[in-house]
C-alpha cells in the first residue's frame, strides 16, 4: 500500500487521512472476538474507567495476544508510515481503547506527542498515530474528533490532568482549543469496522462519552521512526515500549492466515517492564 501524492499533500494540510473499510469485516472479526478475553484479564495493562469496571484502555496486547501481534505487523498499516518517514519504524505504544457502551468516558483535548516529549523524551514529532476501528463508529458512540491543521503548530502548552478521567493526560486549555477551532474547524471521521485513520502525532484530538448501547473499540498504534526512539524510561515499558527494533512485516493476508508470531509476555509482564528505569538502555 502506497500513499498517492494527493494523499501526502492532504496529510500535510489536514494532519490526518481516513481509509474507510481498509480492512474487511472478516479481517476484523478475530480481533473483535479476542477483546473480551483481554479486557477480562487482571493485568496492569488494563486501565479501567473511573466509575465502572469497563476497560478504558488496554496496553501492549501485541505482546500477549496472537491476533493483535499479527495486526501490529500488518503492511497496510505500517507501510504508509514508513513511506512518510522514509525510515523503518518501531512500535512505541499499542492500545485497545474500549469506549464501551454506556460506560465509555471522554478523552479531553490533547496531542499525543506532547506526552511523548514530556514523559518519554522522544526527540521529534517523527511518530505516527494509527486508529483502526473494530466496531462501526457513528455519531452516537463517541467518535474521535480532530481539529484539522492543528498539527502544524508543534507542541502546545498542556497541563497534566490527573482527575477528570482514570488515565492521566497532558491536556490543552479551553482558550487554545477555541482559537484552534476558529482557525481549522472540527471534524469527526466515522466509518464501518475496519476503517483506518492515520494522524499526525501533533494533531489535537478528543472524544466524547459513549451513552449508546454500541461499543466503540478501536486499536491505537503509535509507530515511531527508529532513529527517533525515546530517551527516557519514566513510564512503564508496557505503556512506552523500550524495544526499538524495526517492525518486521507479515504478508497482506496476515489477519486471515495464522502466521506464527512471538508472544513474549503471554505468561505475564516482565518485572522490569512494570516500573520506571532511571537510566535508559
| Least spacing, CB of residue 209 vs a copy of itself, in Å | 5
3-state SS, one letter per residue, for the chain: CCCCHHHHHHHHHHCEEEECCCCCHHHHHHHHHHHHHHHHCCCCCEEECCCCCCEEEEECHHHCCHHHHHHCCCHHHHHHHHHHHCCCEEEEEEEEECCCCCCCCCEEEECHHHHHHHHHCCCCCCEEEEEEECCCECCCCCCEEECCCHHHHCCCCCEEECCCCCCCEEECCHHHHHHHHHHHCCECCCECCCCEEEEECCCCEEECCCCCCCCCCEEEEEEEEHHHCCCCECCCCCCCCCCCCCCCCCCCCCCCCCCCCCCCCCCCCCHHHCCCECCCC
| Least spacing, CB of residue 188 vs a copy of itself, in Å | 6
| Least spacing, CB of residue 150 vs a copy of itself, in Å | 13
Residue 178 host element (H or E): helix 174-184
Nearer Cβ to a copy of itself (145/249): 145
Nearer Cβ to a copy of itself (5/213): 213
| Least spacing, CB of residue 135 vs a copy of itself, in Å | 15
Nearer Cβ to a copy of itself (220/233): 220
| Least spacing, CB of residue 164 vs a copy of itself, in Å | 7
Nearer Cβ to a copy of itself (174/248): 174
> Which residues form the interface with a copy of itself (CB under 8 A)?
51, 101-102, 106, 108-109, 139-140, 142, 145, 164, 174, 177-178, 181-182, 186, 188, 206-213
Question: From CA 209, how far away is CA 146, in angstroms rounded?
Answer: 15
Nearer Cβ to a copy of itself (105/273): 105
Nearer Cβ to a copy of itself (166/209): 209
Are 183 and 149 in contact, with CB atoms under 8 Å apart? Answer: yes
| Least spacing, CB of residue 108 vs a copy of itself, in Å | 7
| Least spacing, CB of residue 23 vs a copy of itself, in Å | 25
| Least spacing, CB of residue 185 vs a copy of itself, in Å | 10
Question: From CA 235, how far away is CA 27, in angstroms rounded?
Answer: 32
- Contacts of 202 by beta carbon, 8 Å cutoff, 6+ apart: 15, 111, 112, 113, 114, 125, 150, 151, 152, 153, 154, 155
Nearer Cβ to a copy of itself (213/260): 213
Nearer Cβ to a copy of itself (13/50): 50
Amino acid at each position: 500500500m502506497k500513499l498517492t501524492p494527493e494523499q501526502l499533500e492532504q496529510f500535510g494540510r489536514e494532519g490526518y487521512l481516513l481509509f474507510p473499510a481498509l480492512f474487511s469485516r472478516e479481517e476484523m472479526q478475530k480481533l473483535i472476538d479476542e477483546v473480551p478475553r483481554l479486557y477480562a484479564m487482571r493485568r496492569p495493562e488494563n486501565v479501567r474507567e473511573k466509575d465502572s469496571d469497563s476497560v478504558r484502555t488496554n496496553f501492549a496486547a501485541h505482546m500477549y495476544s496472537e491476533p493483535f501481534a499479527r495486526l501490529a505487523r500488518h503492511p497496510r498499516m505500517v507501510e504508509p508510515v514508513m513511506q512518510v518517514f522514509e525510515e523503518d519504524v518501531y512500535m512505541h505504544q499499542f492500545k485497545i481503547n474500549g469506549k464501551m457502551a454506556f460506560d465509555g468516558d471522554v478523552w479531553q483535548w490533547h496531542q499525543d506527542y506532547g506526552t511523548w516529549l514530556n514523559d518519554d523524551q522522544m526527540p521529534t514529532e517523527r511518530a505516527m498515530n494509527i486508529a483502526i476501528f473494530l466496531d462501526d463508529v457513528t455519531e452516537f458512540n463517541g467518535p474521535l474528533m480532530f481539529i484539522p491543521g492543528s498539527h502544524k503548530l508543534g507542541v502546545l502548552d498542556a497541563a497534566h490532568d490527573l482527575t477528570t478521567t482514570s488515565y492521566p493526560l497532558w491536556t490543552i486549555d479551553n482558550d487554545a482549543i477555541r482559537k484552534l477551532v476558529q482557525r481549522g474547524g472540527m471534524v469527526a471521521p466515522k466509518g464501518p469496522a475496519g476503517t483506518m485513520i492515520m494522524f499526525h502525532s501533533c494533531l489535537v484530538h478528543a472524544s466524547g462519552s459513549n451513552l449508546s448501547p454500541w461499543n466503540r473499540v478501536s486499536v491505537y498504534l503509535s509507530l515511531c521512526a527508529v532513529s527517533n526512539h525515546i530517551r527516557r524510561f519514566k513510564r512503564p515499558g508496557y505503556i512506552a515500549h523500550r524495544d526499538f527494533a524495526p517492525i518486521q512485516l507479515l504478508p497482506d493476508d496476515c489477519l486471515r492466515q495464522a502466521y506464527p508470531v512471538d508472544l513474549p509476555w503471554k505468561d505475564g509482564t516482565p518485572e522490569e517492564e512494570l516500573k520506571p528505569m532511571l537510566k535508559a538502555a
